Every structure is written in C-alpha cells, then in structure tokens.
C-alpha cells in the first residue's frame, strides 16, 4: 500500500498578485472578510486552497462511493433517497471545485489526474490517519461500504462529522466559501437525519441490534480519526486566518457528544477509540 503523500501541482497565480502577509492579518483583525484572490497573501491562499481541496475531493469521492447503494437500497423509497444523497454530494463537489476554479486552480486537470473510485480492498485494513492516494479526500472515503448498515452508519458518522467541520466554514473569513456552505450544510443535516432514523430503527429491533452495534464499532473509530491531531501548528494557522474556528479536538468532542446522546437513547454502547497518534509516530499527514 502506497502511503506516501505526493503533492499535486496546482496552478497558482504569480506571487506578485498577492498582498503582503501583514495586510491580510490587519484585515482579519479588523473583522473584514476576504472576497477575492487579490486580497490574499500567498500563505492565506495556499491554506485556503488546501482546505477547499480537502472538501471538494471528499465530496466527490463520497458521492461516487454511495452510487452502488442506489441499486442495493432495500426499497424504492430508499433508492430515491440514496440517489438524492449522491446528487447532493456531486453538487457539493461542484460548488467547491467552482470556488477553486475562481482561485485560478485548474480543476479539470486535478479531477482527471486522480482516481476517486479507488478504495482500500484489503479485508480488515485500518488506516488510522494515513492517506493512501495523492488526492486530498478525508481518509474515510478510502473504505468500502459493504452492507446497507454500513451505508446507514456512514450517514450517521461521516455526514455528521462533515456537518461539524462545516460549522467552522459557516464562520469562515473567505466569504464566497461561507456563502456556498449555507445550502451544503442544510443538505448534510438531511443526510445525518437519514442515518439517525435508520440507526434508531435498527437498534430498537432486537433482530438487528447486534448488527448496528458492530457497524458502529467499525465506523465510529474511523470517523474519530478524521478530525486530526490536537493542537497542531497548522490548525493554529487556520484559526489565525479565520479558516477554522476551533481546535481539531474541540470539533471531535462536539461530534462525540452528539453520537453519545443517540447511542445512549437507543441502548447501544459507545465504541472505544484510541487516537492513532497515541500508538505510533506516523508523521501528520492529514486533517491538520
């Protein structure tokens, strides 16, 4: 398995088009948002592009991963719901790539250069916080969704995790992203609700309780890993730029509290989670 990170070459505007770093810092200190590339420093631009790539690539890989579940969903109502979710994720991807295009990024080349259908096939493979391709998707989107309960748990865990991360974007200093995120966040709430409804239904039925617990045990720890390490320098910089509002650990804690409330309500058990970085010295690759 290739665990190396290969940076994608992006088409960035020439350095002289950027404003000095001090000017951006002053603007942000005054509480003024950023509307266009001409108001950015090189560093603000690079960090913004990195975060937008993470979201765009995740939305695209996520939508593609859901496609087989249109055919495999248990009834016509659910096939339509899954199809709607796929359409939502594709629209989210398009919205994010459009923002990148507006920043001078050659989006078509990025999409053509990556395999968004790629998944980790090895039985029982757990990635922790590792990335295994050179796109910037959140590493949850490397896992295969093998059963309908997996699909449900993906809505329950991953869409919820995305929702918590999007809350920070709703307060972003980059105004075009903030505007785009309003509708995206509403649609993610619908996806989360779909997961919640099914988790309740499956957990309250003695015939399916064990299966939904097993799916939770599988997907919850994977999701806990996506938020990144606590107290990273990169996260501090994102916060200084107003591109994130909270430390990675605070976002993770908010996600965990919400999951715990549902889990307790329906009589499931919270899975254990040990931070990947407690167990190994893998260099930080993702989610920072």
| Min dist. Cβ of residue 80 to Fe ion (A) | 16
Beta-carbon contacts of 256 under 8 Å, excluding residues fewer than 6 positions away, are 224
- Give 39 or 159: the residue with its C-beta nearer to Fe ion: 159
Q: Which among 14-22, 90-98, 140-148, 249-257 is the span making contact with Fe ion, rule CB under 5 A?
A: 90-98
Report the nearest approach of Fe ion to the CB of residue 92 (Å). 4
The HSE-up count of residue 62 (CA atoms within 13 Å, CB side) is 31
Region 102-131 residues binding Fe ion, contact defined as CB under 5 A: none
Q: Provide, rounded to whole angstroms, the least separation between the CB of residue 243 and Fe ion.
A: 18
Give the nearest distance from C-beta 159 to Fe ion in angstroms.
Answer: 4
From residue 39, give the alpha-carbon distance in Å to each of 44, 102, 103, 127, 172: 10, 13, 11, 38, 15
* 78 makes contact with Fe ion (CB under 5 A): no
Q: Which of 191, 222, 244, 252 binds Fe ion (CB under 5 A)?
A: 191
Nearest alpha-carbon partner for 54 in 113, 11, 110: 110
Considering only 72-80, 91-99, 128-136, 216-224, which stretch makes contact with Fe ion by CB under 5 A?
A: 91-99
Q: Which residues does 53 contact at the CB level (< 8 Å), separation at least 6?
A: 8, 100, 110, 135, 136
Q: Annotate each residue in 47-66 with x if it binds Fe ion (CB under 5 A) or - if it does not, as one string.
A: ------------x-------
Smallest distance from the beta carbon of 60 to Fe ion, in angstroms? 10
Q: Any contact of residue 159 with Fe ion (CB under 5 A)?
A: yes
Residue 92 within binding range of Fe ion, rule CB under 5 A = yes
196 binds Fe ion (CB under 5 A): no
DSSP string for residues in 97-125:
HHHHHHTT--HHHHHHHS-TT--B-STT-
**Sign (positive/negative) of CA torsion 94, 99, 104, 110?**
negative
DSSP conformation class of 226: G
Pick between residue 24 and residue 215 the one whose CB is nearest to Fe ion.
Answer: 215
Helix (H, G, I), strand (E, B) or coil at 204: helix
CB of 46 to Fe ion, least distance (A): 24
89 binds Fe ion (CB under 5 A): yes
Number of shown-chain residues binding Fe ion (CB under 5 A): 6
- Per CB under 5 A, does 218 bind Fe ion? no
- Select 40 or 93, whichever has its Cβ closest to Fe ion: 93
Region from 31-39, 125-133, 182-190, 253-261 binding Fe ion, contact rule CB under 5 A? 182-190
Answer whether 211's CB lies under 8 Å from 202's CB.
yes
Cβ burial 6-42 (10 Å sphere, 16+ → b, else e): eeeebebeeeeebbeeeebeebbeeeeebeebebbbb
- Binding residues (CB under 5 A) for Fe ion: these are 59, 89, 92, 159, 188, 191
């Amino acid at each position: 398995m290739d665990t190396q990170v290969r940076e994608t070459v992006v088409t960035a505007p020439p350095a002289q088009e950027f404003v000095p770093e001090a000017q951006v810092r002053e603007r942000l200190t005054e509480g003024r948002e950023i509307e266009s590339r001409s108001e950015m420093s090189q560093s603000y631009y690079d960090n913004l592009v990195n975060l937008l790539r993470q979201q765009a690539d995740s939305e695209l890989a996520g939508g593609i991963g859901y496609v087989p579940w249109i055919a495999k969903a248990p009834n016509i109502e659910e096939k339509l719901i899954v199809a709607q979710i796929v359409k939502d994720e594709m629209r989210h991807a398009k919205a994010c790539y459009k923002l990148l295009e507006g920043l001078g990024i050659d989006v078509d080349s990025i999409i053509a250069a990556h395999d968004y259908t790629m998944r980790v096939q090895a039985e029982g493979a757990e990635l922790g916080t590792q990335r295994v391709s050179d796109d910037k998707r959140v590493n949850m989107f490397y896992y295969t969704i093998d059963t309908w309960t997996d699909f449900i748990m993906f809505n329950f865990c991953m869409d919820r995790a995305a929702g918590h991360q999007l809350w920070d974007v709703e307060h972003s200093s980059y105004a075009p992203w903030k505007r785009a995120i309003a509708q995206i966040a509403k649609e993610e709430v619908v996806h989360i609700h779909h997961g919640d409804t099914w988790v309740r239904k499956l957990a309250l039925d003695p015939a399916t309780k064990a299966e939904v617990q097993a799916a939770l045990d599988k997907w919850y720890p994977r999701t806990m890993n996506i938020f990144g390490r606590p107290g990273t320098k990169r996260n501090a910089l994102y916060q200084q730029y107003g591109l994130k509002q909270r430390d990675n650990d605070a976002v993770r804690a908010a996600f965990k509290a919400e999951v715990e409330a549902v889990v307790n309500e329906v009589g499931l058990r919270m899975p254990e989670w040990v931070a990947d970085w407690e167990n190994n010295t893998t260099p930080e690759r993702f989610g920072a």
